[in-house]
């Protein structure tokens, strides 16, 4: 019943009292009053009665029937004791007597209801007087406040339970407190809490609450001993039993239940995670009904027990984990600390105290901040504040003071510990000593700075070299362009950087070096490093610079360093020149001597010839003529050597069968070297033909054989060997040749051999190890000059005591060798055909005369001219000309070649024979002449001239 209902009731009771008073004042008859009273009171849920002085009921309203279960009529006349029972009547009688004494009495008492249960009631006894004022009985008004009281006491009980549970964290104590409150509040025999083993179907009760005189059930009980209601419990249902003897589930165990003062009971299962784990129970010794309010109260208590138990378990777990944490934290050799969710540091491990020297327990709160280096405090406050506000990790590097006052660097970190709902519970932090790491980092930074300085320094140095060197440095690409160049390029060549970078570098190179440059680039493209490559660069002022290169490939790019060796070359050349001049000086002396001897032989021979002819002694004239001719031949040979040495000899390269040439020389060689030396010729089969001047090759071969002879004074063996050689890039480079096909001609002896020093100098002109007058030192230098001029090479392979091999490499001629014409004598020279005319141009009248005579002897018509213009005039005329024979060096502003070219314009295909005393190779096209042009080297035998003329004319 709610307060407002009770209030309403009160008001109605008050109205009723007023009515009763009014009725009392009315003199009306008994029956009328009673009928009216019944009318009024029957509808009220209040007990209303009238009791006379003998304590017998005279009137009961309808509610008595509801309350006591007996008809109202049956109550009338009954003694109050009989209705209330002796106990309640005994309690109430004194108050009734007071009412009979004329007092209105209000009393809080109990009334047994129809089940015999005592219910709290607010009771009033109101005396009734008769007209004389004598009290003849009293009215009873009883309001059932039982439910209100119970609700109130339950409310108080819940509050009390809350208070008690707050301080408890032992599950047994929690269970007992709840049981006690439950038991006393509901006035039952026993209340308790037990944990369930659903498999064994047992309940374990640690401690229960028992009403006075009721024994404890502490221990283990088997549900099945008391009935089958365990099934309901397992399903999570609360078992409510008002009377075990009446309940089907407990009929079998009713006696047992009664024996443990549990004829009525409530078993309320407590579930955790859906499982039946515990039980809250109420027992009552006698049968008892359980109101829904009581059950609600019990559920409330059960809920609180569950929550408290859970909390206590969580607390226990937390305590355990905290204990574990502290144990860990103390064991870790770093600083560990903890802070509240709000950021107040409230725990530090021993390491912090040991480090800081602070007394244990004194660092909580602000004391800690004092350890932080003053310069780092702002950082700490800011970062810690941010971490707390954002709930994220905290991390700073700060200095913390040590006990001795020094500061060390620490990495301070903290992480929030969160509850399941994400709320921050605490913070746990660590401080890691990073002093050493920090020092190392500083040292590293210092080193790095040093390194950077060094690098900068070296870069500057390198830049300075790049800027200031006179060497040409840069990079170039296989695409033929320079990519980067240093200032030396502009200084050396005069071109600005844009010009140098803006065009293919080939433009800068003398065309004569293009082929070689292309080869070098190709090698770089194959990844080879190139050193010592020399080419000529074209400077802006028109001069040439000779540069020696080193190039290092790097993919598509190559790095180049070039040294301008122009001056060096010039100096070398000058030195060579001066050395040569000195040598030539020496030579000229010797030559003059030789020539005087030879001239003496010639002129002497001619003189004697003249004398004998004048005397008419015409016998034995041949002797003088032979003597003169012999001297002249030796003189010619001597000049030949000199020309060869000067590398200015006029070469007349022809496709030559070298094996054949050797065969032709073999007899001569044999005679030259004498009988003590065996000659062996090993001519390679299928030897290619060589493009070479055969006369010079003969000369070279003879010289090699003479050197071999000189190296074998005691005799020995000379082997002359030929072979085909295919020189690849490497082999060619080793021999300083272009790659390609060559023939080798090697002369090997079994003589003294040469020391490395001699080998190194053997090709030097005038270098000889032979006694004065025996060696000229010109043999090998001539051979070298000839070989190089022919596009070939000479190599010496020699060891002291083992002998020597000298090899000539000669370029292959792709084609058949020409058959060499024999040395026809003049008598067998072919005669001219009718009217064939030869123009002879030479500034030397003797030569002209001699040639003219030879020609006329052969039947040719000869026309003479002394210089180029004169010769040209003849060619401009319409005189018949079958051949032009001309010297190369001519006076009159036009050399023989120019004249011949001009003549050929007028007379295309005109045959030309150049006769020349020394090399004008450039003039004559370096030995390669147009068809119909030939060269004859002075001096020559007249037969050779005649046959050459004939050959040329006949060739048409």
- Which residues contact Mg ion (rule: CB under 5 A)? 707, 779
CB of 699 to Mg ion, least distance (A): 12
CA distance 538 to 512: 11
CB of 576 to Mg ion, least distance (A): 21
* Residue 218 φ then ψ, to 5°: -45, 135
Contacts with ligand ADP by CB under 6 A lie at 707-708, 711, 749, 751-752, 754, 758, 762, 767-770, 775-781, 804
Give buried/exposed letters for 366-381 (b at 16+ CB in 10 A, else e): eebeebbbeebeeebe
Identify what 278 binds: ligand ADP, Mg ion, none; CB under 5 to 8 Å per kind. none
Contact 786, 700 (CB under 8 A): yes
CB of 900 to Mg ion, least distance (A): 38
Nearer CB in complex with Mg ion: 450/713: 713
**Cβ atoms within 10 A of the Cβ of 729, count?**
15
Q: Provide the 8-state DSSP code for 863.
A: E
The first and second tokens of residue 725, run together, are: 């050689």
Q: What share of the chain is helix, strand, coil (3-state, %, to 5)?
A: 45, 25, 30
Identify what 711 binds: Mg ion, ligand ADP, none; CB under 5 to 8 Å per kind. ligand ADP
Nearer CB in complex with ligand ADP: 677/944: 677
Strands lying side by side in the sheet with 933-937: 861-865, 837-841, 883-887, 911-916, 933-937
Nearer CB in complex with ligand ADP: 387/778: 778
**Cβ atoms within 10 A of the Cβ of 427, count?**
25
CA distance 221 to 893: 150
Nearer CB in complex with ligand ADP: 396/669: 669
In angstroms, what CA-CA distances link 871 with 483, 743, 840, 896?
Answer: 57, 42, 8, 9
Identify what 751 binds: Mg ion, ligand ADP, none; CB under 5 to 8 Å per kind. ligand ADP
Nearer CB in complex with ligand ADP: 403/589: 589
Listed as own residue / partner, the contacts of 630-634 with beta carbons closer than 8 Å and 24 or more positions apart are 630/601, 631/597, 631/598, 631/599, 631/600, 631/601, 631/602, 631/605, 632/598, 632/602, 632/939, 634/598
Give buried/exposed letters for 256-275 (b at 16+ CB in 10 A, else e): ebbebbbbbbbbbbbeeeee
CB of 804 to Mg ion, least distance (A): 12
The first and second tokens of residue 795, run together, are: 């190599």
CB of 524 to ligand ADP, least distance (A): 38
Identify what 183 binds: ligand ADP, Mg ion, none; CB under 5 to 8 Å per kind. none
CB of 701 to Mg ion, least distance (A): 12
Identify what 388 binds: ligand ADP, Mg ion, none; CB under 5 to 8 Å per kind. none
Q: Tell me the CA end-to-end span of the chain in Å, nearest whole number.
A: 158
* Residue 912 φ then ψ, to 5°: -135, 135
Residue, CB closest to ligand ADP: 779
Nearer CB in complex with ligand ADP: 95/763: 763
Nearer CB in complex with ligand ADP: 416/785: 785
CB of 789 to ligand ADP, least distance (A): 17
Nearer CB in complex with ligand ADP: 37/778: 778
Identify what 752 binds: ligand ADP, Mg ion, none; CB under 5 to 8 Å per kind. ligand ADP
Identify what 494 binds: Mg ion, ligand ADP, none; CB under 5 to 8 Å per kind. none
CB of 755 to ligand ADP, least distance (A): 9
Nearer CB in complex with ligand ADP: 807/915: 807
The first and second tokens of residue 302, run together, are: 């059960």
Give buried/exposed letters for 618-630 (b at 16+ CB in 10 A, else e): eeeeeebeebbee
CA distance 878 to 865: 16
CA 500 distance to own-chain centroid: 38
Identify what 804 binds: Mg ion, ligand ADP, none; CB under 5 to 8 Å per kind. ligand ADP
CB of 707 to Mg ion, least distance (A): 4
Beta partners for 804? 749, 798
Residue length of the chain: 956
Residue, CB closest to Mg ion: 779
Nearer CB in complex with ligand ADP: 102/589: 589
Nearer CB in complex with ligand ADP: 562/785: 785
CB of 719 to Mg ion, least distance (A): 18
Nearer CB in complex with Mg ion: 779/868: 779
CA distance 556 to 895: 50
Identify what 55 binds: Mg ion, ligand ADP, none; CB under 5 to 8 Å per kind. none
CB of 647 to Mg ion, least distance (A): 17
Identify what 855 binds: ligand ADP, Mg ion, none; CB under 5 to 8 Å per kind. none
Nearer CB in complex with Mg ion: 186/778: 778
Helix (H, G, I), strand (E, B) or coil at 527: coil
Left, alpha or beta for 284 (phi > 0: left; psi -120 to 50: alpha)? beta
Contact 749, 686 (CB under 8 A): no
Angle, vertex CA 91, rays to CA 89 and CA 95, nearest 5: 90
Nearer CB in complex with ligand ADP: 356/707: 707
The first and second tokens of residue 274, run together, are: 């859906």
Nearer CB in complex with ligand ADP: 478/679: 679
Identify what 491 binds: Mg ion, ligand ADP, none; CB under 5 to 8 Å per kind. none
Identify what 178 binds: ligand ADP, Mg ion, none; CB under 5 to 8 Å per kind. none
**Cβ atoms within 10 A of the Cβ of 849, count?**
13
In angstroms, what CA-CA distances link 610 with 14, 203, 216, 433, 598?
Answer: 200, 169, 179, 125, 18
CB of 639 to ligand ADP, least distance (A): 17
Residue with the two structure tokens 């109202």: 72
Nearer CB in complex with ligand ADP: 750/861: 750
Identify what 758 binds: Mg ion, ligand ADP, none; CB under 5 to 8 Å per kind. ligand ADP
CB of 716 to ligand ADP, least distance (A): 10
C-alpha count within 13 angstroms, C-beta hemisphere, residue 929:
24
Identify what 742 binds: Mg ion, ligand ADP, none; CB under 5 to 8 Å per kind. none
CB of 788 to ligand ADP, least distance (A): 15
Identify what 769 binds: Mg ion, ligand ADP, none; CB under 5 to 8 Å per kind. ligand ADP
Q: How do beta strands 689-692 and 654-656 pair?
A: antiparallel
Identify what 749 binds: ligand ADP, Mg ion, none; CB under 5 to 8 Å per kind. ligand ADP
CB of 803 to ligand ADP, least distance (A): 7
CB of 765 to Mg ion, least distance (A): 12
Identify what 358 binds: Mg ion, ligand ADP, none; CB under 5 to 8 Å per kind. none
CB of 800 to ligand ADP, least distance (A): 9
Strands lying side by side in the sheet with 118-129: 57-60, 47-52, 135-144, 118-129, 105-112
Nearer CB in complex with ligand ADP: 677/778: 778
The first and second tokens of residue 88, run together, are: 């309640």
């Amino acid at each position: 019943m709610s307060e407002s209902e009770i209030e309403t009731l009160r008001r109605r009771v008050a109205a009723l009292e007023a009515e009763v008073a009014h009725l009392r004042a009315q003199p009306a008859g008994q029956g009328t009053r009673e009928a009216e009273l019944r009318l009024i009171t029957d509808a009220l849920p209040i007990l209303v009665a009238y009791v006379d002085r003998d304590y017998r009921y005279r009137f009961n309203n309808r509610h008595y029937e509801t309350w006591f279960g007996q008809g109202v009529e049956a109550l009338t006349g009954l003694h109050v004791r009989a209705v209330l029972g002796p106990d309640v009547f005994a309690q109430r009688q004194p108050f009734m007597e007071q009412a009979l004494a004329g007092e209105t009495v209000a009393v809080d008492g109990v009334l047994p209801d129809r089940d015999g249960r005592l219910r709290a009631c607010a009771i009033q006894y109101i005396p009734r007087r008769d007209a004389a004022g004598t009290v003849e009985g009293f009215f009873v008004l009883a309001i059932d406040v039982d439910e209100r009281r119970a609700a109130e006491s339950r409310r108080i009980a819940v509050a009390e339970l809350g208070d008690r549970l707050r301080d408890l964290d032992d599950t047994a104590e929690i269970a007992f407190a709840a049981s006690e409150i439950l038991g006393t509040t509901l006035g039952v025999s026993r209340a308790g809490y037990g944990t369930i083993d659903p498999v064994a179907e047992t309940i374990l009760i640690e401690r229960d609450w028992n009403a006075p005189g009721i024994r404890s059930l502490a221990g283990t009980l088997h549900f099945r001993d008391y009935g089958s209601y365990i099934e309901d419990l397992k399903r999570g249902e609360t078992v409510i039993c008002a009377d075990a003897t009446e309940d089907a589930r407990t009929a079998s165990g009713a006696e047992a239940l009664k024996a443990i003062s549990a004829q009525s009971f409530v078993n309320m299962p407590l579930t955790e995670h859906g499982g039946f784990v515990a039980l809250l129970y109420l027992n009552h010794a006698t049968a008892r009904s359980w109101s829904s309010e009581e059950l609600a109260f019990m559920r409330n208590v059960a809920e609180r027990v569950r929550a408290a138990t859970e909390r206590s378990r969580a607390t226990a777990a937390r305590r355990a984990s905290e204990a574990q944490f502290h144990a860990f934290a103390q064991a870790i050799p770093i600083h560990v600390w903890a802070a509240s969710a709000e950021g107040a540091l409230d725990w530090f491990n021993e390491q912090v105290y040991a480090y800081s020297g602070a007394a244990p327990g004194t660092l909580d709160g602000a004391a800690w901040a004092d350890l932080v280096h003053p310069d780092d405090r702002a950082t700490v406050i800011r970062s810690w504040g941010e971490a707390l506000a954002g709930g994220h990790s905290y991390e700073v590097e700060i200095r913390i003071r040590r006990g001795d006052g020094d500061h060390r660097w620490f990495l301070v970190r903290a992480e929030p510990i969160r509850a399941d709902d994400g709320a921050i519970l605490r913070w746990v932090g660590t401080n890691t000593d990073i002093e050493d790491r920090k020092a190392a980092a500083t040292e590293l930074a210092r080193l790095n700075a040093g390194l950077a300085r060094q690098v900068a320094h070296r870069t500057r140095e390198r830049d300075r070299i790049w800027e200031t060197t006179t060497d040409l440095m840069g990079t170039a690409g296989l695409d033929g362009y320079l990519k980067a160049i240093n200032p030396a390029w502009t200084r050396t060549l005069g071109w600005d950087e844009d010009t140098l970078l803006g065009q293919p570098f080939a433009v800068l190179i003398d065309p004569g070096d293009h082929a070689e440059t292309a080869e070098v680039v190709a090698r770089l493209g194959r990844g080879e490093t190139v050193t010592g490559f020399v080419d000529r660069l074209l400077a802006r002022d028109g001069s040439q610079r000779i540069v020696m290169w080193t190039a290092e490939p790097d993919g598509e790019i190559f790095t180049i360093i070039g040294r301008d060796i122009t001056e060096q070359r010039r100096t070398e050349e000058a030195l060579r020149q001066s050395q040569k001049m000195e040598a030539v000086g020496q030579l000229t002396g010797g030559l003059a001597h030789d020539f005087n001897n030879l001239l003496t032989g010639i002129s002497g021979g001619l003189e004697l010839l003249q004398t004998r002819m004048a005397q008419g002694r015409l016998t034995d004239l041949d002797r003088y003529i032979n003597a003169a001719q012999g001297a002249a031949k030796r003189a010619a040979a001597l000049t030949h050597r000199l020309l060869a040495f000067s590398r200015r000899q006029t070469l007349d390269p022809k496709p030559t069968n070298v094996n054949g040439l050797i065969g032709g020389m073999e007899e001569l060689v044999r005679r030259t070297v004498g009988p003590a030396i065996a000659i062996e010729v090993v001519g390679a089969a299928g030897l290619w033909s060589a493009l070479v001047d055969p006369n010079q090759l003969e000369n070279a071969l003879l010289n090699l054989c003479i050197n071999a002879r000189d190296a074998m004074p005691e005799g020995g063996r000379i082997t002359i060997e030929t072979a085909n050689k295919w020189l690849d890039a490497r082999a060619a480079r080793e021999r300083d040749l272009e790659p390609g096909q060559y023939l080798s001609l090697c002369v090997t002896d079994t003589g003294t051999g040469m020391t490395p020093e001699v080998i190194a100098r053997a090709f030097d002109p005038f270098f000889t190890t032979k006694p004065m007058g025996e060696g000229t030192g010109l043999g090998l230098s001539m051979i070298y000059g000839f070989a190089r001029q022919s596009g070939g090479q000479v190599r010496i392979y020699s060891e002291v005591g083992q002998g020597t091999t000298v090899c000539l490499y000669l370029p292959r001629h792709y084609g058949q060798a020409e058959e060499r014409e024999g040395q026809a004598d003049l008598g067998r020279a072919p005669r001219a055909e009718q009217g064939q005319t030869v123009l002879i141009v030479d500034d030397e009248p003797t030569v002209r005369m001699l040639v003219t005579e030879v020609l006329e002897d052969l039947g040719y018509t000869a026309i003479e001219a002394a210089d180029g213009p004169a010769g040209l005039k003849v060619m401009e005329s319409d005189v018949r000309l079958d051949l032009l024979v001309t010297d190369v060096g001519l006076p009159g502003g036009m050399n023989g070649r120019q004249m011949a070219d001009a003549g050929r314009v007028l007379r295309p295909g005109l045959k030309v024979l150049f006769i020349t005393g020394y090399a004008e190779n450039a003039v004559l096209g370096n030995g390669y002449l147009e068809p119909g042009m030939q060269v004859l080297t002075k001096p020559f035998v007249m037969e050779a001239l005649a046959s050459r003329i004939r050959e040329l004319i006949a060739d048409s």
